[in-house]
Structure 1
Amino acid sequence: MTEPSPQHPRVGVVTVSYGSGDALEAFLSSLREHHGDAVPVAVVDNKPGPDGVAALAQRFGALYVELATNPGYGAGMNAGVAALLEAANAPEMGGVGGGAVDPRAASTAQPPFDAYFFCNPDVIFIEPAIGELASALLTETRGGSIGPRTLNDDGSIYPSARNIPSVATGVGHALFGKVWASNPWSRAYKNSADYDVRRNAGWLSGAAVMVTRQAYEDVHGWDEAYFLHFEDIDLGYRLGLAGWVNVFEPAVTIRHTGGHSLKKHSEVAERAMTSSAIRFMRKRYAGVWRSPVRWVVVAGLRVRGALKVRGAQRAAG
């Protein structure tokens, strides 16, 4: 098996679109502006329709992967990786470079990538990032994933490198996060350390996270049981359990406009948040001896979820 090369890292980019045509153009345009046309990109369309996603993928030389049904964010990312591998290992297709791909065919050839960069379609590159992140990741001892500093639209820093949520931090953040921003539980959960310092984190925001091929294969990619939310927390958690390190790299900065498709489907998002949070906390606190803690946490999450859904319904009129 070929070892990763920090000097010339081979990176495949994957993004998942769900009605994201408006955001996708800026993402692809900024990616090509700062990285050229040679970087392989897969655009996975979880909601095919007349929003121009297929045309945008073709225009910017990306693979277009159309899924018949919406399997969720993590499953879409896995489909993108499969499509990149299939295209790169198919000489008759001319390698990675554009067109439609069926992600179901698994490639048995030697993997051509050192790492995969998973991005939301509402990310905007404001400087070169892919090679810089890959080189840093591949020289990090047991480096499994790496994430850049992420800016909100207003220029503020998004807390993209966080600790794995526990019962105490999860409950405290859920209860006081909106009304008392500086509460100790939210600070602990968001890992509110200096965002100018390179450091390890429990997990990195899935808005822009790069994972080495070895680490990705080691944990079998994204957990497709999460339809939406918590899939990035789960990924970081499983990487940590497998002995890999999640690295926050402030020397590279991106911008994230944030939640463009969720704003249109807030009730769906709230239901998915509750379901995913329950799944993760059950995994985090598995075992018979932790059953009482698990029951209390799940009950609390269900109550919170019901209140959030009711609020979303009222807001929608």
Structure 2
Amino acid sequence: MPVDVAAVVVTYNSADHIIELLDSIPSAMGALTYSLVVVDNGSSDATLDVLATRSDCATVRSTNDGYAAGMNRAVRASEPAEAVLILNPDATLDAGAVPAMLEVLRKPAVGVVAPRVREADGSLSPTLRRGPTIGRVGGLSFTGWPAFTERIEEPAAYETEHEVDWAVGAILLVDGGLYARLGGMDESYFLYSEETDFSLRAKDAGWTTVYTPAAGAMHIGGGSGESATTHTMKQLNRIRLYRRRAGTLRTWVYYVMTVLIEVRRALLGHDKSWPTVRALLRPSRRPPALNASDSVLPR
């Protein structure tokens, strides 16, 4: 029998965080009916031991074929539902958060809902984003100009409900029919950009992504850590996403600007940027999981 919400989580070495998330879900759901599925992408820590002690979720063991693939696997293993609640394992939900998000999701043409998110210290987490453009390739937030800034940092933007291009995917409520219509998350994005791609494809299909301050959550961020490899994945997937939406010529400009920005970051001491520069310039240095054949980058 269908439920109101199918909550789905993908874990990877998440033993330090998953308990807090699972404990927060019942009060966050309120009176809604729901299922809860956790897909573990091959954790080597105690994540599976922790999950084995829980009776409030179904656990699916998997090899690590990417976050998007894990999320789609979790949805397939879930009960049919009006909405899919996407959760990172290092997030926790406030009481009543999901009914508040579902109320917004039920408005006409709304396909994705993002809540107000705070950091572990209680400060606002700026999770709202503008769509990718050549001007925003460097994330020049210090300018304060939307034309050059992907991340929305103005506090006023987090005070009212409104449409956004996309939001960080740590906590998102997605219309179940839309998720199926779009074929779920694009699994060619092994890690990063999958939520950007999903919201932009939803917009192409006539659905909006809406932020609401009526629902709250906390996200620690970096629960599985960032390495030089994941930093490289982030930059390469940004280029891949841009190419699919802008075409080859403009993507070459985007690519060259990305290289220059990463060189600058490396010279300023960002130790993860030199491996990224090498991967950008030499396809053989790119993480195999990225399947870089679908890329404008030289081979």
Q: Could you tell me the TM-score, scaled by structure 2's length?
A: 0.81
SS state at 1:10 partner = strand
- Is structure 2 residue 184 aligned with structure 1 residue 190? no
For the residues of structure 1 that align with 2:124 and 2:218, how far apart are their CA atoms?
A: 9
- Is structure 2 residue 256 aligned with structure 1 residue 299? yes
- Is structure 2 residue 188 aligned with structure 1 residue 225? yes
Does the 8 Å CA contact 2:85/2:172 hold for their aligned counterparts?
Answer: yes
Point out the more displaced range, 41-50 or 69-78.
41-50
Distance change (3 Å), C-alpha of 1:188 and 1:114: same
Does the 8 Å CA contact 1:125/1:254 hold for their aligned counterparts?
Answer: yes
Equivalent residue, structure 2, for 1:20: 14
Consecutive unaligned residues in structure 1, runs of 5 or more: 89-111
Equivalent residue, structure 2, for 1:312: 272
Equivalent residue, structure 2, for 1:131: 99
SS state at 1:13 partner = strand
Equivalent residue, structure 1, for 2:39: 44
For the residues of structure 2 that align with 1:12 and 1:234, how far apart are their CA atoms?
A: 21
Residue 34 of structure 1: how far off its partner (Å): 3.7
Q: 1:11 aligns with which of 5, 24, 34?
A: 5
For the residues of structure 2 that align with 1:47 and 1:186, how far apart are their CA atoms?
A: 38
Does the 8 Å CA contact 2:262/2:274 hold for their aligned counterparts?
Answer: no
SS state at 1:21 partner = coil
Residue 183 of structure 1: how far off its partner (Å): 5.2
Residue 296 of structure 1: how far off its partner (Å): 1.4
- Is structure 2 residue 84 aligned with structure 1 residue 116? yes
Identical aligned pairs, as a percentage? 29
Distance change (3 Å), C-alpha of 1:51 and 1:270: same
Written as runs of structure 1 = structure 2, the 5 A alignment for 1:1-317 is 10-35=4-29, 39-56=34-51, 58-67=53-62, 69-84=63-78, 88=79, 112-138=80-106, 140-171=107-138, 173=139, 176-177=140-141, 180=142, 182=144, 184-185=146-147, 187=149, 189-190=151-152, 192=154, 193-263=156-226, 266-286=227-247, 291-305=248-262, 311-312=271-272
Give CA deviations for 1:107-127 in whole Å, capped at 9, x if unaligned: xxxxx2101000111111222
Does the 8 Å CA contact 2:97/2:214 hold for their aligned counterparts?
Answer: no
Distance change (3 Å), C-alpha of 1:44 and 1:302: farther
Distance change (3 Å), C-alpha of 1:34 and 1:211: closer
Give CA deviations for 1:183-219 in whole Å, capped at 9, x if unaligned: 5545464274521100001112200011111111121
Residue 297 of structure 1: how far off its partner (Å): 0.9
Give CA deviations for 1:89-145 in whole Å, capped at 9, x if unaligned: xxxxxxxxxxxxxxxxxxxxxxx210100011111122221222112211x111111
Q: Output the amino acid matched with 2:87.
A: C
Consecutive unaligned residues in structure 2, runs of 5 or more: 276-299
Residue 227 of structure 1: how far off its partner (Å): 1.0
Does the 8 Å CA contact 2:14/2:47 hold for their aligned counterparts?
Answer: no
Does the 8 Å CA contact 1:203/1:232 hold for their aligned counterparts?
Answer: yes
Distance change (3 Å), C-alpha of 1:30 and 1:60: farther
For the residues of structure 2 that align with 1:239 and 1:65, how far apart are their CA atoms?
A: 27
Residue 49 of structure 1: how far off its partner (Å): 3.1
Residue 52 of structure 1: how far off its partner (Å): 3.3
Q: Output the amino acid matched with 2:61.
A: E
For the residues of structure 2 that align with 1:306 and 1:45, how far apart are their CA atoms?
A: 35
Residue 250 of structure 1: how far off its partner (Å): 0.7
For the residues of structure 1 that align with 2:150 and 2:189, how far apart are their CA atoms?
A: 24
Equivalent residue, structure 2, for 1:104: none
Q: Output the amino acid matched with 1:128.
A: G
Point out the more displaced range, 197-206 or 299-308.
299-308
For the residues of structure 2 that align with 1:313 and 1:223, how far apart are their CA atoms?
A: 26
Taking only aligned residues, the RMSD between alpha carbons, in angstroms, comes to 2.7
Does the 8 Å CA contact 2:36/2:58 hold for their aligned counterparts?
Answer: yes
SS state at 2:34 partner = coil
Give CA deviations for 1:256-279 in whole Å, capped at 9, x if unaligned: 11112124xx11211111221111
